[in-house]
Amino acid sequence: MATVAIAESTFQYEEQSLENDCLKVDIFDPAKYGARFLELVQKYPETFTYVAFPVLHSVDELLTEVYNPIASSPADCLWAIIDKTRPAGANHDNLAGAFSLIDVKKAEGTAEMGGILFPPFHRSHVASNTVGLILQYLLDPPSQRGLGLRRVVWHANANNKPSRRVAERMGFTLEGILRWQRTFAPNRDCQAGPGVALPTAALAARNGTKPEDEAPGRHTAVYSIVWDEWEEKRPHVVAQMGLRK
């Protein structure tokens, strides 16, 4: 049971749950999904091979490290991914992962999307339907109940081939590689796998600093879909959502 207060969402758009016949992208309610999400995070640490995600030991830490910072930001929101083809059970056994919007800029009409999917739900309909539902929500015009944004971005560790394959399969265009774009927090207990983060020993030697004080980094692959190609790409996205493996 959590003892930390759950932050109220401050997302600048009205939060919506999205769903079709096989999947629901539900507004993440820590009281509902927190315990199961924590269980899966601890059971499948390999999920975070390419992500600087904090090691969580309790629902309180899930709130303080992950949920509350997102809820407190008007530019971010978080969903739970629910596989409707599997029974939920009392423990939300059909919780497949989580997906978020990051750095949503209303004035510019842009958003970054990203998420995690736990191994039992890999190579299934879950990834394509999650991405497809969210793309429709972001890029469809208001007349079709979308936000009518101009640009949606997908960032991936340049070495994360599975994430990059999903982006490419769903119609995103590779814009380029941003070298040394992001760091993994130094001296923080994160779950990034060995060989994933870029080493910084040479950087420390150059700068005259201690190796442990130089945060490991990563190159980031930047993908996007923009509004004036969405009408052309939307049928492809819908077709990918219809594939059931």
pLDDT at 185: 62
Cα–Cα nearest to 24, from 115, 134, 114: 134
CB atoms within 10 A of CB 42: 11
d(CA 163, CA 154): 9
- In the chain, domain spans: 18-242
| Residue 188: per-residue pLDDT | 47
Q: Can you say how many angstroms the Cα of residue 47 is from the centroid of all Cα atoms in its chain?
A: 12
Structure token pair of residue 143: 């007349």
> Three-state DSSP class for 21?
coil
pLDDT of residue 187: 44
2 pLDDT band, cuts 50/70/90, is: confident
pLDDT bin (cut points 50, 70, 90) of residue 215 is: confident
CATH class assigned to 18-242 = alpha beta
> Contact, 91 vs 102, CB < 8 A?
no
Strands ordered across the beta sheet of 151-157: 18-19, 23-27, 77-83, 95-105, 110-117, 151-157, 217-226, 173-183
For the chain, give the mean pLDDT. Answer: 92
Residue pair 122/235 in contact (Cβ under 8 Å)? The answer is: no
User: What percent helix, strand, coil does the chain show, rounded to 5?
Assistant: 35, 25, 40
The whole-number average pLDDT for the span 207-236 is 94
**Tens-place pLDDT, residues 97-154:** 999 999 999 999 999 999 999 999 999 999 999 999 999 999 999 999 999 999 999 9
CB atoms within 10 A of CB 213: 11
